[in-house]
Structure 1
């Protein structure tokens, strides 16, 4: 398995999806699969070599559990969230305009190229 570290724009769009679904990690699989395709498109455009497990459904659900942990202050979800998800949540709270800008840019760059 090839491990590719998560980057800010990836974390932003996943966290945005989390909040759009009521701050729950119960997001419909089809929406997660659509985002997974965008992540793969991004990797291809950036020349990042990935395998079949890259940003797959189960991995994204695990990351959503980590996001839920961060957002609930450790009361629920999966512990072990990376520092990136804490930084992304800080960005969401402290600079929502920049957070939304990063999210929109991600979709503009990678959705249109599919």
Structure 2
């Protein structure tokens, strides 16, 4: 049924409210509370700060749990992808217990990963 509002059972949209975003000339903006300013700044910097904090925690966990120095530990984690990356960082071939040894890179299970195969 066609109603008086201009359609078949449709409701009219509420009228738009005009909100002035700029203060009138000659008036000072209302004073902002310190907590509101700090909350606004925290919202702006929250994500980058949390990402950096998470990266620092992960880096510390990886470095503290390793028996080797930092550079060797980073090379060890880089060598975990595949044998090409282990050769690129200079840790191939690697024996069990040495940096650069990952069980998934040891195809024949003899304790030596990324060994050179004779052709």
**Which structure's CA Rg is the greater one?**
2
Q: Which has the larger share of helix?
A: 1
Q: TM-score, normalised by structure 1?
A: 0.27
Larger RCO (CA within 8 A; separation ≥ 6): 1
